[in-house]
Amino acid sequence: MNATVTQDMSLFNLISTASLPVQLVLVLLLLASFMSWWFIFRKLFTIRAAIKQSDEFENIFWKGADLNELYQSIINSRYTAGSMERIFESGFREFIKHKRQPGVDVGAVMDGTRRAMRATYQREIDKLESHLAFLATVGSVSPYVGLFGTVWGIMNSFRGLSNVIQATIAHVAPGIAEALIATAMGLFAAIPAVIAYNHYARDIDRLATRFESFMEELSNVLQRQVTA
């Protein structure tokens, strides 16, 4: 008798015998969780690479490397360059272009350089932030989707009682159990997505601050070259 109850109340049996809306909710949440983990791992490697490349480039830059040689090396390895390297490349390219023009005002040269770096900076930040909106959406919506499955399962349980003369816990237990599975699946999808979103958003904010500081420092270095 106990074996039968255990078998009937097993997780697989509860899911397989759940109502269609609850099953659809579970499938949707499972797909959302799978995609979240895919983006979580992709974003982990992307941000780690961006931090490492920024550290390496700043180490080379502040060791007093020749800016022209540094610019040429970045051009030769453009497809493997990091975000900070691309910001430097765009700014220095614009700086050289304006500097070669005769009679150009120093302010115009630096304004053009800053605009070029700012445009590249925005593209790099957008690239780093890609898929974060999906994690935020999964983290905020999944509990409510799971709650919908919960409400539907409980509603079915109480609707089934209308055909029963004497209601017992055995009549409502399967429906409530499948409802709680939907709630658990919603939390299973939401919690990792929320944690990852907060962690990656903080890392990207730190990188953005580093990029902005580097742009200001590079602008000062280039301005000294113009006025020298």
- Residue 102 φ then ψ, to 5°: -70, 140
Q: Is the pLDDT of residue 9 over 60?
A: no
Tell me the three state secondary structure of residue 129: coil
Give the pLDDT confidence of 196-208 residue by residue, as tens digits. 999 999 999 999 9
Range with top average pLDDT, 103-117, 118-132, 179-193: 118-132
In this structure, are residues 93 and 70 in contact, taking their beta carbons and an 8 Å threshold? no
Give the pLDDT confidence of 118-177 residue by residue, as tens digits. 999 999 999 999 999 999 999 999 999 988 888 877 777 776 666 655 555 555 666 677
- Residue 117, Cβ neighbours under 10 Å: how many? 26
Q: Is the pLDDT of residue 113 over 50?
A: yes
Through-space distance between the first and last CA atoms of the chain, rounded to whole angstroms? 93
- Identify the residue whose tokens are 């360059």: 81
Q: Rounded mean pLDDT of 46-67? A: 90
CB-based contacts of 7, cutoff 8 Å, min separation 6: 13
Range with top average pLDDT, 38-42, 66-70, 102-106: 38-42
pTM over 0.85: no
User: What was the pLDDT predicted at 217?
Assistant: 92
In this structure, are residues 156 and 175 in contact, taking their beta carbons and an 8 Å threshold? yes
Q: Encoding tokens for residue 150?
A: 């919960």
Confidence of residue 213 (pLDDT cuts 50, 70, 90): very high
User: What was the pLDDT predicted at 6?
Assistant: 45
Q: Long-range contacts of range 205-208, CB-CB < 8 Å, 24 or more positions apart?
A: 207/47, 207/50, 207/51, 207/54, 207/83, 207/125, 207/128, 208/121, 208/125
Q: Rounded mean pLDDT of 55-80? A: 87
Residue type, 118: R
User: What was the pLDDT predicted at 106?
Assistant: 76
